[in-house]
Amino acid sequence: MTGVLLVDKPEGTTSAGVIRALKPRLGRAKAGHLGTLDPFASGLLPLCLGEATKVARYLLVEEKAYEGTIRLGTATDTLDRTGTPVDTAPVPALAQAALDALAARFTGRQQQVPPMYSALKRDGVPLYALARRGLEVERAPREITIDRLELVLRAPDRIDFRLVCSKGTYVRVLAADLGRALDTRAHLERLRRTRVGAFRVEDATALEALLALAPAAALPALAVREALAGYPAFAAPSPEALERLRRGQQEPLVHLPAPLLDPAGNVAAIIEAAGARPAWRLVRLLCDTVS
């Protein structure tokens, strides 16, 4: 089984838990997700299956879109609603114009400090494991990009948001930072991922519906070519050239810097620039059965 399966993850389930739940349907096929969603969050969780795991690193860097709600007045240790309250502050009277100005301030490239409750590691130990022991360590800030941020006042202590951001952005940290910028405290109350690159949650299938499929029914996975539709593609020069590629020979790639298609139109290989010269190298060779 090969392809990209778009799952609409429910709240209360881990990303790894989605894969475990589908494992009886996947059999021996490898599976990996394109970006973890916190257990309390819902929304789009693309899964790369089988040979499609070889192109996961290209899809992982795509921008992501979210919607959700920020609760003002209380900070939690996890920066979301699942955590323990650690601080409170009065919520000032807010006007929509002030939120529009704040959204503009937080749009663009910026530095963000990862949260302690994250899977990042320090000396091989996940930060969340240290946080659960009551420890806090210094974390180096990372550059992220907020491409679009919309803030809408829903209630005196709640802000709805829509967000388009780069890989590596922690929405929980953004919520806490916005709270401090409003001279109060905040945590993430609700989060739903709506897009990963070109994949949209509207095209995803709820986990419950996938689990309810008949045993003989095929999973609605996208073909690798569909998943890489945003990349330029070139047909292989000839069946002989494609066969040489499968034997590890690089010469046919000289003028083909892109996903390489076999005679049937399926993705056969991923190619990228190699060094400063206009040369290219094979970085992922997919098997004959990829579709």
Q: What amino acid positions are annotated as catalytic residues? A: 38
Instruction: Give exposure, 169-194, as e/b (b: 16+ Cβ within 10 Å).
Output: bbbbbbbbbbbeebebbbbbbbbbbb
Residue 199: partners with Cβ closer than 8 Å, 6 or more residues away: 4, 6, 44, 46, 227
Q: How far is CA 269 from CA 47, 84, 206, in A?
A: 19, 48, 31
Beta carbons within 10 angstroms of residue 238's beta carbon: 11
Report how far Cα 121 is from the mean position of its chain's Cα atoms. 19
How many Cα atoms occupy the beta-carbon half-sphere of 115 within 13 Å?
A: 25
Rounded Cα–Cα distance for residues 80 and 9 (Å): 18
Paired strand residues for 280: 273
- Three-class secondary structure assignment of 110-168: EEECCCCCCCCEECCEEHHHHHHCCCCCCCCCEEEEEEEEEEEEEECCEEEEEEEECCC
